Structure 1
């Protein structure tokens, strides 16, 4: 009996719920309102637009690289000896002027070698003079012997002189001839002996000069590996020094950027037979600006000197070498440090484009389309072909004509043919032209 009552209660609850739901549904249907209809068109959407015009465009290529000195001196001992003189400032990081004596080895061994070679040359000169005098005497004696032999030969022919006397004179004359020939051979060997002695003297003098290490240019010392009174061997590394005349940065830049940039400065016809890239392409027309990464405002002006062989194996980027002359000249540490080894540098290369381009802000592109305003201020969605993008600019290759109005706003929704209220943004046009010329806007990093 209790179970039956419970089942009846649940069924009653379900029936009541259904009844209430049906009642609410009837109420909503009876009281529904039809949608309001308006015969007036929707208000035009207010948008800002610019007028597309060909403008001067400055091509850019951006990349990064590590600074290094243009010339580094690896001082290595060409001769052995004990260090007898060492500059008191011969330490890593020191700046020294050209012509400063940095290091000197014991020169006594090489001074003795020079004295020995000079003495040998003096001796050879004396021997040569004596030999010439002896040769003159021997030639006189030979002339007398030849005359005597001729006289005896005539007498022997008449029987006035014995055969033994004639033979004795012949032997004497041959001996005199041999003496003259010996002296002549000795004189012929004298130039070779003098040359050998001169070579030994020159080598000794070079060895003596190699005992002194003089700064060949203004430099900054790197690692120093030698001390006073230390004995150094031939081939031993002593110290390293970087030239202060110039610094270089081998920047890695995207291939496509470098290709466009070099194409803008290459002549229409390349001179035949030219192998040097600097002769075929005007590298001096490319402006180069370097900036220290992590230190905004620390910049240097440079110039492109060459394009290194091959691409970077890791990034397939082009390796362009940029040189900065006299990087220490205007240094004011710590606000303006000099460009020195191992600094990580951002490089910007730029050159004027060969012709005017149709340029729009990259933000005006919507998945390959531009929003345009037609003559009736209606929205036109136009697919365009983009030649390339540079920073926040897009160069339009096809699909856009000069004088057409490009909508800058990102409209939601963007319905083809919708009415627009177009306002020409002349300030945006001026900013666009300035950016296309490569000019930095106020407060913006170049």
Structure 2
């Protein structure tokens, strides 16, 4: 009996446990609530979108370089001499106006050389006048001697006829012959003197030219003793002092023009080709090898910005493209000129564009036609996310022509009116439902950046 009652109690406990478990399950099922519409809506991500439209785009190329003066003067001594004058402001960094006399060497030697040459010219002029007088006198004497010779010749003929008839002696005839020959010699001598006068005149002219050359050389040397500012300049290094002796060929000082500065900017070739593509006249000069012959450099807008200080900038103009690529960086060397770099200077907030400053150069030109532009961050591995008309996410491959200023210019894959998702949804499942929100502020910012505003 005891064993039977114990077995019965175990089965009763098992049945009771099963009953309690079933009751709990039934209670949980009865109290279960289905998810509401609000919870389902919270699973649809809200994403910012922009509507793609063709935008006016300004193509940009950037480079860097070091500023330098467009024109520099290396004042070198052409003549030797002691420094007798030196402008008190001839010191490194000072700005001096055009026409300022900066330095003078001792001119005494060259003034004496001029005086000596002028004295020789005066002497040669006197010799020339004397030669002219001699020529005139010789011609008059020659005319008289020729008349006398004519008389002697006639007398000789008369004497010869008389001698042939035996009316005079031979000695009388010979005497007349000697007189005639003597007269012939006198005429010949005067004729020789006249023949030599042109040669003597040429010799005088040659000596005169030599004296003139020495005088002009002395005048040039005298002018080279004075150094006058050829333009408004800023003095650089000065290597001469008052009372020092300068030697021919010695560098005295350096100075830079303040009228303009230039930068030889190193610009990557693909960037430059993209910018000039909108202004290049490829059909106007089909045989032109020089890029400058095909590109209107004046159509390029250039800005020079002090590296590290965005607010300090100067407007420039592209004046030329240097020949060949830079051998180290393989970049194009574009020369940008800044006119009047000293104007509107307010140091230290706005310094002067001085030689040696490291600057960045921005070249830009309008695109020939509007382009489709999206933020570069909206492109994911060659594709963009779109919001379809049914508010579904669509992953669409695109072709990016190039990127510029965090903008991606789309060449293929998008059409005007497409809604591009500018957020980065995670996960991004093709076809999933999205809640697009139109970001008009970003569209306006995109337009401004495409036009180059604030760059």
1:237-269 CA distance string (max 9 Å, x none): 100001100011111111111111111111252
Pick one of 344, 351, 369 that aligns with 2:365. Answer: 351
**Which residue does the alignment assign to 1:287?**
301
SS of the residue 1:416 aligns to: coil
Q: Distance in 2 between matches of 1:268 and 1:66?
A: 31
Q: Distance in 2 between matches of 1:307 and 1:159?
A: 98
Residues 151-160 or 346-355, more deviating: 151-160
**Which residue does the alignment assign to 1:56?**
56
5+ unaligned residues in a row in structure 2: which ranges? 1-24, 161-172
**Which residue does the alignment assign to 2:16?**
none
**Which residue does the alignment assign to 2:313?**
299
Pick one of 216, 224, 229 that aligns with 1:215. Answer: 229
**Which residue does the alignment assign to 1:18?**
none
- CA pair 274-209 structure 1, distance change in 2 beyond 3 A: farther
**Which residue does the alignment assign to 1:406?**
420
- Superposition RMSD on alpha carbons, in Å? 2.2
Residues 55-64 or 151-160, more deviating: 151-160
SS of the residue 2:316 aligns to: strand
CA contact (8 A) 2:282 2:294 kept: no
Residues 174-183 or 184-193, more deviating: 184-193
Alignment of 1:185-196 (within 5 A): 185-196=199-210
Alignment of 1:38-437 (within 5 A): 43-159=43-159, 162-271=176-285, 277-437=291-451
Q: How many residues align?
A: 410
Q: Distance in 2 between matches of 1:208 and 1:293?
A: 47
SS of the residue 1:184 aligns to: helix
1:194-241 CA distance string (max 9 Å, x none): 222211111110000000001111111111101111111110110000
Q: TM-score, normalised by structure 2?
A: 0.86
CA shift, 1:129, in A, is 1.2
Higher Rg of the two aligned structures: 2
CA shift, 1:39, in A, is 11
CA contact (8 A) 1:135 1:184 kept: no
CA contact (8 A) 1:284 1:303 kept: yes
- CA pair 376-190 structure 1, distance change in 2 beyond 3 A: same
Q: TM-score, normalised by structure 1?
A: 0.87
